[in-house]
Chain A
Amino acid sequence: MEDFLNIFIRSAFVENLVLSYFLGMCSYLAVSKSVKTAMGLGLAVIFVLGITVPINWLINHYILSEGGLLGMDLTFLRFILFIAVIASMVQLVEMVIEKISPALYNSLGIFLPLITVNCAILGASLFMISREYNFTESVAFGLGGGFGWFLAIIAIAAIREKLKYSNIPAPLRGLGIAFIITGLMGMAFMGLMGIDPAIFFSGK
């Protein structure tokens, strides 16, 4: 449990997917013009990350790796299989949400299918491999990473809504200023870098 919270907090704040690895930047910039749509995309990303990272862990561990069920080292198939899992999971999540909660489905709208090509999703799966997480850790990493992405997009959307009323030099409007603000946010989040989340849970 300690590990779970530790990795959750670290991946949400300290090693934020957008602000320190620039993952999912394209949709982060494209969909951050209003808080409402940003909220929709953020929620969808939490959903999909929380599901695909553990599933890709299972696939990597039980099918692709040498000690898996097939007994062969198939890791060169990793990219193809991961992207297929993500595409089909997005499709599945879309159908399930549509069935269970039409209201949420309508508010997410076009964003669900777009998530397939959001690099944060594939990136998180690849980080999960390269950092050698175990199953619980990968669940925490998926949820935490998604939550961090959600926070970042909400924050920039709120700032950009306010920016509409400020007097920015014309060539810098829109994209240019969004980049510079993201840089400032990244530096702010970096202030958390020195903090080891473990100290909160060690009871010392």
Chain B
Amino acid sequence: MAEVKESKKALFPMTKKERKLLFDPLNDNNPVTVQVLGICSALAVTSMLLPSIVMAIAVTFVIAFSNLTISLLRNYIPKQVRMIVQLVVIAFLVTIVELTLKAYSYPVYKQLSVFIGLIITNCIVMGRLEAFAMANKPWQSFLDGIGNGLGYGIILVIISFIRELFGRGTLLSGTPLEMKIIGASSDFWIDTTTNPYFGWYVNNNLMVLPAAALFIMGLIIWYQRSKTPKLIDIS
């Protein structure tokens, strides 16, 4: 038994606590739906899958590395100026992300417009720095950053999946993997003009509008809280 445990440990060298740091933010302690942080960008970029995936990766990168940096510096930062130090670290990382994106994927950069810059004021980043990285060791802070980034990303991907599928009838448009699922021309897998069962179907333009993101978010919160009653807001 001990041997099995040992080999398992070697394969996946993480303590229970570290695993909790990584996976807790995915559901029970989700930064978006439970801690209510970083909502601005979560809603604004989600009309299609591609920009939301890019945004999720960018935010994960920024949270993980700013957590790591601040955690390494935590004993040298005077308490009075910690906000400025944090903001400078974050702004530096965001500048790296922005320039990289501009160089390698200009259409997505154009689509995300100001929201890449707004990662600086994304409260998830500041929130994790204040709540976690200022008091914990670098490796754990790094994992916490990755976990929270993924928790943020998963919400973005769910919302944008629904909005793109029902709003435009496509998935992942703009990438080589583009799938045209349903629509009124022969390019789509289900062609509503000829298919005998889907003649009634029309893409819902509401889903493309900003308001749809808010509705879907409200429904996700509703679902999550009815599954996990301890999250219910009593007030």
Contacts and interface: CB of A to CB of B under 8 A. Distances in A.
Interface stretch (B69-77, B119-127, B167-175, B178-186): B119-127
B107 interface: no
Nearest to A17: B40
B36 interface: yes
Nearest to B231: A171
Which of A126, A130, A190 has the most B CB atoms < 10 Å from its CB? A126
A40 to B, nearest CB: 19
A63 interface: no
Given A76-B99, A117-B123, A171-B226, A83 B87 contact: yes
Interface residues of A, number: 46
A175 B221 contact: yes
A183 interface: yes
B53 to A, nearest CB: 19
Contact of B122 (A21, A119, A175): A119
B118 A126 contact: yes
A179 B155 CA distance: 15
Given A26-B38, A76-B95, A180 B120 contact: no
Which of B118, B126, B211, B232 has the most A CB atoms < 10 Å from its CB? B211
Given A175-B233, A176-B225, A29 B39 contact: yes
Contact of B214 (A121, A173, A186): A186
A80 interface: yes
Interface in B12-65: 33, 36-41, 43-44
B94 interface: yes
Nearest to A174: B233
A174 B36 CA distance: 11
B199 interface: no
A186 B210 contact: yes
Contacts of B221: 171-172, 175-176, 179
Bin the interface of chain B by size. 35 or more
A177 interface: yes
A71 to B, nearest CB: 21
A123 B214 contact: no
Contacts of A123: 40, 114, 118, 121
Given A122-B117, A172-B225, 15 more contacts: A22-B210, A79-B95, A80-B92, A83-B91, A83-B120, A118-B121, A119-B121, A123-B121, A130-B114, A171-B229, A172-B222, A176-B219, A177-B218, A179-B218, A183-B215
Interface of B: 33, 36-41, 43-44, 83-84, 87-88, 91-92, 94-95, 98-99, 113-114, 117-118, 120-123, 126, 209-215, 217-219, 221-226, 229, 232-235
Q: Shortest 7 CB-CB distances between A and B: which pairs?
A: A174-B233, A183-B214, A171-B225, A179-B218, A126-B114, A180-B218, A171-B226
Interface of A: 19-26, 29-30, 33, 76, 78-80, 83-84, 87, 116-119, 121-123, 126-127, 130, 169-180, 182-184, 186-187, 190
16 contacts: A21-B210, A26-B36, A79-B117, A87-B83, A117-B121, A122-B117, A126-B117, A172-B221, A174-B235, A175-B33, A175-B36, A175-B221, A175-B233, A180-B215, A187-B209, A190-B211
